[in-house]
Amino acid sequence: MFKINENYLKLPGSYLFSTIGKKVREFSTQNPDKKIIRLGIGDVTLPLAPKVISALHTAVDDMSGKDTFKGYSPDLGYEFLRQAIVDYNYKSRGVTIALDEIFISDGAKSDSGNIQEIFDVDNKIAVCDPVYPVYVDSNVMAGRCGNYSFDSGKWSNVIYMPCTKENNFAPEIPTEVPDIIYLCFPNNPTGSTITKAALQLWVDYANKVGAVIIYDAAYEAYIVEENIPHTIYECEGAKTCAIEIRSFSKNAGFTGTRLGFTVIPKELKWGEVTLNSLWARRHGTKFNGAPYIIQCAGAAVYTEEGRKQTKDQIAYYMNNAKIIREGLHSAGYTVSGGVNAPYIWMETPKGMTSWEFFDYLLNEVNVVGTPGSGFGPSGEGYFRLTAFGSYESTIEAVERIKGL
């Protein structure tokens, strides 16, 4: 008789966004005349940039020609894309990354969920609290997290690093030493960032204790302030302790198109074994490449026009962020984030729980956000709004909330 991976059974309840979806559907069925504004899920809304679209068309035409047709892509991804990444994401910031340290993938969700596979089950992870749920859930599936307590909202074998207003939503080095540390900056869900000096402390710590940092920089393109690192490799010594994960979803609207990459420097070793070689083995065995067409679209993001057009899209979303942040602040709410990230993190008013505030906003002003507690116990009492809506709906949502 076969056996299942019983770790899956440990995962509690339905996923945050399914619960939100269900509540919103029920509300719409009961109130068909109400216009709901969704500032909940972190999906983009602007269409792909013209330069990306034209690259897609050209790549599709390539697939129709006998001499230009492409089958399987190289294991690590096409060199034209990896070279653009090396030049624009790293060299431009004074960081040297080799072509074979970059692994093209179908997005940061898969990479951040799969990367744990190259580590022994007997490793202890540390995560920010609140956190993007994929890091914890993927480790639960692997059997690394112990048991879940509904009372505390925590796993018994996970080190939680609370990120609250008391520490300006930046994690502090934990008292218990972790083996794998997940960091994400600019942060989802809090919209907070980390200075280069603060990130350097994490790099120094990881090198000292022999931990690995998994650095999710999916929102790097939203950084506007000067002293915020765009890549962890701006920190000295990061190549011996950090893996960086990136995405084309939020910088170029590829949430439905799917493209991302992971960087594993060859200096990152366990004894004589490079983590790069393990991930290369895993990638070659379990992944057959992001489509040629999509990799061409990704390369178009790095062209002059592509960079300008995607920058304009980010500016559009960040204008929304400013409208939300300043609008809610002027209405007396305590808000953070929304400066170097498309997420605004607000404190729920009048001592409401995150879900009470969710229901209140949905019922009273028909605005949907995301309850902070869905991202971890320290998210209780907070609420996330995203800047990914349209300008018009963002203005309207803020006006509605201000009128409460």
Smallest distance, Å, CB 164 to ligand PLP?
19
User: Identity (one letter) of the amino acid at 149?
Assistant: S
Among the candidate windows 108-116, 201-209, 235-243, 322-330, which touches ligand PLP by CB under 6 A? 108-116
Taking CB under 6 A as the rule, does residue 310 contact ligand PLP? no
Taking CB under 6 A as the rule, does residue 244 contact ligand PLP? no
CB-based contact 390:350 (threshold 8 Å): no
CB-based contact 236:200 (threshold 8 Å): yes
84 token code pair: 């653009």
> What is the rounded CA–CA span in Å between residue 188 and residue 318?
15
Among the candidate windows 66-74, 104-112, 296-304, 384-392, which touches ligand PLP by CB under 6 A? 104-112
Smallest distance, Å, CB 62 to ligand PLP?
24
59 token code pair: 């790549």
Query: Judging by DSSP bridges, how do beta strands 148-149 and 343-347 pair with one another?
Result: unpaired
Taking CB under 6 A as the rule, does residue 218 contact ligand PLP? yes
Per-residue contact track with ligand PLP, 122 to 141, x per CB under 6 A? ----------x---------
Residue in 137, 216, 220, 244 binding ligand PLP, rule: CB under 6 A: 216
Taking CB under 6 A as the rule, does residue 107 contact ligand PLP? yes
Nearest to 298 by CA among 334, 252, 361, 230: 252
Smallest distance, Å, CB 88 to ligand PLP?
18
Taking CB under 6 A as the rule, does residue 260 contact ligand PLP? yes
Element (H, E) at 69: none
Cis peptide before 162 (omega within 30 of 0): no
Establish how many alpha carbons lie within 13 A of residue 275's alpha carbon, considering only the half-sphere containing its beta carbon. Answer: 26
User: Identity (one letter) of the amino acid at 125?
Assistant: I
Taking CB under 6 A as the rule, does residue 108 contact ligand PLP? yes
**Residue count at the site for ligand PLP (CB under 6 A)?**
14
> What is the rounded CA–CA span in Å between residue 245 and residue 263?
6
What is the three-class DSSP state of 148? strand
Taking CB under 6 A as the rule, does residue 188 contact ligand PLP? yes
CB-based contact 206:179 (threshold 8 Å): no
Among the candidate windows 19-27, 45-53, 102-110, 320-328, which touches ligand PLP by CB under 6 A? 102-110
Among the candidate windows 56-64, 101-109, 276-284, 384-392, which touches ligand PLP by CB under 6 A? 101-109
Smallest distance, Å, CB 113 to ligand PLP?
9
CB-based contact 328:234 (threshold 8 Å): no
Q: Beta strands of 196-284 (E only): which ranges?
A: 212-216, 242-247, 260-263, 269-270, 273-274
Q: Which burial class, exposed, middle or buried, applies to 265 when counting CB atoms under 10 A from its CB (0-12, 13-18, 19+)?
A: buried
Q: Please, which residue, 95 or 183, has the CB nearer to ligand PLP? A: 183
Taking CB under 6 A as the rule, does residue 381 contact ligand PLP? no
Q: Please, which residue, 251 or 309, has the CB nearer to ligand PLP? A: 251
Smallest distance, Å, CB 321 to ligand PLP?
15
β-partners of residue 262 are 103, 245
Smallest distance, Å, CB 20 to ligand PLP?
14
Smallest distance, Å, CB 257 to ligand PLP?
9
Q: Which of residues 34-63 bind ligand PLP (CB under 6 A)?
A: 42
CA 42 to chain centre: 9
Taking CB under 6 A as the rule, does residue 255 contact ligand PLP? yes
Binding site for ligand PLP (CB under 6 A): 42, 107-109, 112, 132, 184, 188, 216, 218, 247, 249, 255, 260
